Amino acid sequence: MPITPLRGRKLGLAGLCILVISACGGGGEHALSPIPSTPPQVSDPCAPVPSSTLIANVKDALFGAKGDGVTDDTKAIQKAVDAVGGKGGTVQVPDGIYLVNALAQSGRNGIVLRNNMTLRLSGGAVLKVIPNSAQSYTLLAVTSVSHVNIVGGTLEGDRSTHIGTAGEGGMGIQIQDSQHIVVQGVLARECRSDGFYITNTNTDVTFCRVGADHNRRQGMSIVGGTGILVKDSTFSNTGGILPEYGIDIEPNPGETVSHITISGCTFTGNAGGGLAAGPAFVNRASAFVTQLLITGNTFAGNGVGGINPSDGVGVGVSACDGTTVSNNIVSTTAGNGIVLRSQATHTTVSGNTATQNSVDGIYLEDCAGSVVSSNTATGNGGYGIHNVAGSGATLSGNTVYGNGRAP
């Protein structure tokens, strides 16, 4: 089915949320951090070993891909995918620039992956979208399949060369209604919308050492699924159309996001902010985020130059119950470092360091039953910890000094 774009910005989270995000690190017309030119290096594999020794090299005569940056290689790559799909084999993509027609297949998809296969790109391999005028499309589609691995290489969108201005779609990878999926060491950059988009009833999806850089809407959107792990990854320089976050966890009506772990990542230079979680305000009765953990991540320099100046947070959580935000470093944010508001109830915020954020280090409003303990807040422009009267939060054992405003 076609992509369902996210609609606008939200710091509204409905339902029950247990949020775990741990140390994870694309953009608009604002100051950019250095843009990675190569995909992340993976020293220890996350993807399982292919179940078959079958290999289809896309440049073999049987398939005929050129990788010369001039030829449309869509059909050649798809032919190789179809040859190994369902057989546990591997499609091998050597160094080169492979142009892909992202509208080649139904649903406005470029390459459509099959069950039980691995797509392996070498470090110098780039799958690049041929500029189009469509309002939405997907470069790599993972739809209603299982046991699929995507390893290495770069996916490049047509952000700067897209024909026309309508619509906000244009994904690097879309994963939908699929199980047992691993994406490892892939860099998604210059996408007109999101580098990575996960929607509907996915289960057991892992992102390991991926990168999302200079994408227009989000580095990654998690719209639906359970058992999703994002670790040791980088989300940078997102900006150009709302919400402009490194990761946005925002289910659409009728969808639920649950059992999500984001660990070991870095978020930097994202115009809207580092990470936001929760359904849009209008969807709170029909969309839910549960069991989400945010821990050990690094957030630096986010919220600068965003379209909505009221955003600009490092980590924003709203209308969630049972969230955990722990052991993160949140610094140099244009707004508040960590924000709980709009019924972010029974939230645990512990062991975080909030420093040199332009406004408050930690901002608490309407978060009944929450515990904020053992955090360090220093050198922020506003309060170290701003506990709005009647927030319902309990504070203990925090270290707060050297901020612009006294407690």
> 278 and 355, same structural domain?
yes
For 80, the enclosing helix (H) or strand (E) is helix 74-84
For 262, the enclosing helix (H) or strand (E) is strand 256-268
Q: Using an 8 Å Cβ cutoff, are 168 and 5 in contact?
A: yes
**Strand partners of residue 329:** 298, 353
Kindly tell me the burial class for residue 8, based on how many C-beta atoms sit within 10 Å of its own C-beta (0-12, 13-18, 19 or more): middle
Interatomic CA distance for residues 307 and 272, integer angstroms: 7
Residues 6+ apart with CB under 8 A from 87: 52, 54, 116, 117
Average pLDDT of the residues in 99-114? 95
For residue 102, the one-letter residue type is A
Interatomic CA distance for residues 104 and 289, integer angstroms: 34
**Strand partners of residue 164:** none
pLDDT tens per residue across span 346-396: 899 999 999 999 999 999 999 999 999 999 999 999 999 999 999 999 999
Average pLDDT of the residues in 24-30? 37
> 186 and 51, same structural domain?
yes
> 344 and 195, same structural domain?
no
What value does the mean pLDDT of the chain take? 89
pTM over 0.85: yes
* Residue 16 scores a pLDDT above 50: no
In a domain, residue 233? The reply is no
Share of the chain above pLDDT 90, in %: 77
What per-residue confidence (pLDDT) applies to 194? 98
In a domain, residue 229? The reply is no
**Strand partners of residue 363:** 339, 386
Interatomic CA distance for residues 111 and 101, integer angstroms: 8
In a domain, residue 232? The reply is no
In a domain, residue 264? The reply is no
Kindly tell me the burial class for residue 34, based on how many C-beta atoms sit within 10 Å of its own C-beta (0-12, 13-18, 19 or more): exposed
Q: End of a domain among 213, 244, 261?
A: 213
3-class state of residue 24 by DSSP: strand
In a domain, residue 230? The reply is no
What per-residue confidence (pLDDT) applies to 105? 92
Q: Using an 8 Å Cβ cutoff, are 154 and 39 in contact?
A: yes
Phi and psi at residue 78, to the nearest 5°: -60, -35
> 199 and 152, same structural domain?
yes
> 128 and 10, same structural domain?
no
pLDDT tens per residue across span 315-346: 999 877 888 999 999 999 999 999 999 988 88
Rounded to the nearest 10°, the torsion over CA 385, 18, 310, 302 is: 80
Q: End of a domain among 170, 186, 213?
A: 213
Interatomic CA distance for residues 138 and 349, integer angstroms: 37
What per-residue confidence (pLDDT) applies to 20? 38
CATH code of the domain containing 167: 2.160.20.10
What per-residue confidence (pLDDT) applies to 72? 98
Domain count, the chain: 2
In a domain, residue 254? The reply is no
Average pLDDT of the residues in 267-278? 96
pLDDT tens per residue across span 190-248: 999 999 999 999 999 999 999 999 999 999 999 999 999 999 999 999 999 999 999 99
Interatomic CA distance for residues 101 and 385, integer angstroms: 50
What per-residue confidence (pLDDT) applies to 33? 42
Q: End of a domain among 213, 248, 277?
A: 213
pLDDT tens per residue across span 154-166: 999 999 999 988 8
DSSP state of 105: B
In a domain, residue 160? The reply is yes
Range with lowest mean pLDDT among 11-15, 109-113, 218-222: 11-15
> 85 and 117, same structural domain?
yes
* Residue 272 scores a pLDDT above 60: yes
What per-residue confidence (pLDDT) applies to 31? 41
Q: Using an 8 Å Cβ cutoff, are 294 and 273 in contact?
A: no
Kindly tell me the burial class for residue 309, based on how many C-beta atoms sit within 10 Å of its own C-beta (0-12, 13-18, 19 or more): exposed
Kindly tell me the burial class for residue 234, based on how many C-beta atoms sit within 10 Å of its own C-beta (0-12, 13-18, 19 or more): buried
> 300 and 328, same structural domain?
yes
What per-residue confidence (pLDDT) applies to 337? 98
> 46 and 28, same structural domain?
no
- If you write DSSP's letter for every residue of 316-353 in order, what string do you get? EEES-BS-EEES-EEES-SS-SEEEESS-BS-EEES-E
Q: Using an 8 Å Cβ cutoff, are 366 and 350 in contact?
A: no
In a domain, residue 247? The reply is no
Is 325 or 4 the better-scoring residue by pLDDT? 325
> 94 and 16, same structural domain?
no
pLDDT tens per residue across span 144-190: 999 999 999 999 999 999 998 888 899 999 999 999 999 999 999 99
Cis peptide before 39 (omega within 30 of 0): no
> 66 and 146, same structural domain?
yes
Residues 6+ apart with CB under 8 A from 60: none
> 82 and 23, same structural domain?
no
3-class state of residue 42 by DSSP: coil
* Residue 21 scores a pLDDT above 60: no
Q: How confident is the model at residue 17 (pLDDT cuts 50, 70, 90)?
A: very low
Domain that holds residue 198: 39-213
pLDDT tens per residue across span 358-369: 999 999 999 999
> 189 and 71, same structural domain?
yes
For 207, the enclosing helix (H) or strand (E) is strand 203-208
* Residue 23 scores a pLDDT above 70: no
